[in-house]
Amino acid sequence: MPRYAAAVTALADRLAARTLELVDIPSQSGKEAAIREHLLGLVPPSWSTEFAGDEAFLFASPRRAGVPLIVLAAHYDTVPAQGNLPGRIAERAVHGLGASDMKGGLAVAVELARDLDAAPATRDVALLLFGREELPAEQNPLPALFAGSRLVHETTLAVVLEPTDLTIQAGCLGNVVAHLTFHGTSGHAARPWLADSALERAVRGLDRIFRLEARSAVVNGLEFQEVVSVTRLQAGIADNVIPGEATATLNFRYPPDRDPADAEAYLAGLVPGDATLDVVSNAPPARVVDSPAVRALRRAGDLEIGPKQAWTNVADFTARGLDAVNFGPGHTALAHHPDEHVSIAALVTAYDVLHRFLTTPIGEDAP
Range of the domain at 275: 174-283
* pLDDT at residue number 364: 53
Does 145 lie in the same domain as 130?
yes
Last residue of a domain, one of 265, 283, 301: 283
Which of these is catalytic: 55, 77, 226, 323? Answer: 77
- Asked if residue 284 lies in contact with residue 315, where contact means CB atoms within 8 angstroms, the answer is yes
- Asked if residue 56 lies in contact with residue 142, where contact means CB atoms within 8 angstroms, the answer is yes
Does 160 lie in the same domain as 28?
yes
Beta bridge partners of 325: 159
How many whole angstroms separate alpha carbon 148 and alpha carbon 141? 11
* CATH number for 28: 3.40.630.10
How many whole angstroms separate alpha carbon 323 and alpha carbon 309? 18
- Asked if residue 82 lies in contact with residue 97, where contact means CB atoms within 8 angstroms, the answer is yes
Does 149 lie in the same domain as 41?
yes
Angle at 349 between CA 26 and CA 115, to 5 degrees: 70
Spatial neighbors of 16 by CB under 8 A, at least 6 apart, are 89, 94, 344, 347
Does 243 lie in the same domain as 152?
no
How many whole angstroms separate alpha carbon 37 and alpha carbon 365? 35
* pLDDT at residue number 361: 86
Does 248 lie in the same domain as 114?
no
Distance of CA 60 to the CA centre of its chain: 22
Last residue of a domain, one of 262, 283, 304: 283
> For the CA atoms of 358, 364, 365, 367, what is the dihedral angle to 10 degrees?
120
Does 294 lie in the same domain as 256?
no
Does 148 lie in the same domain as 60?
yes
Last residue of a domain, one of 253, 283, 313: 283
Q: What's the domain count of the chain?
A: 2
Catalytic: 162? Answer: no
* pLDDT at residue number 1: 45
- Asked if residue 126 lies in contact with residue 56, where contact means CB atoms within 8 angstroms, the answer is no
* pLDDT tens for the 367 residues of the chain, in order: 455 455 568 999 999 999 999 999 999 999 999 999 999 999 999 999 999 999 999 999 989 999 999 999 999 999 999 999 999 999 999 999 999 999 999 999 999 999 999 888 899 999 999 999 998 888 999 999 999 999 999 999 999 999 999 999 999 999 999 999 999 999 999 999 999 999 999 999 999 999 999 999 999 999 999 999 999 999 999 999 999 999 999 999 999 999 999 999 999 999 998 899 999 999 999 999 999 999 999 999 999 999 999 999 999 999 999 999 999 999 999 999 999 999 999 999 999 999 999 999 877 555 4
Query: Is 365 within a domain?
Result: no
DSSP string for residues in 284-340: PPBPPP--HHHHHHHHHHT--EEE--S--THHHHHTTT--EEE--SS-GGGTT-TT-
Residue count of the chain: 367
Query: Is 49 within a domain?
Result: yes
Which pTM was predicted? 0.90
Query: Is 366 within a domain?
Result: no
Does 209 lie in the same domain as 81?
no
Strand, helix or coil for residue 278: strand
Q: What is the DSSP letter of 79?
A: P
Catalytic: 239? Answer: no
Helix axes 3-23, 104-118, angle to 10 degrees: 130
Does 192 lie in the same domain as 163?
no
Query: Is 364 within a domain?
Result: no
Which of these is catalytic: 50, 111, 133, 340? Answer: 133
Query: Is 367 within a domain?
Result: no
Does 107 lie in the same domain as 12?
yes
Does 8 lie in the same domain as 39?
yes
Does 354 lie in the same domain as 308?
yes
* CATH number for 256: 3.30.70.360
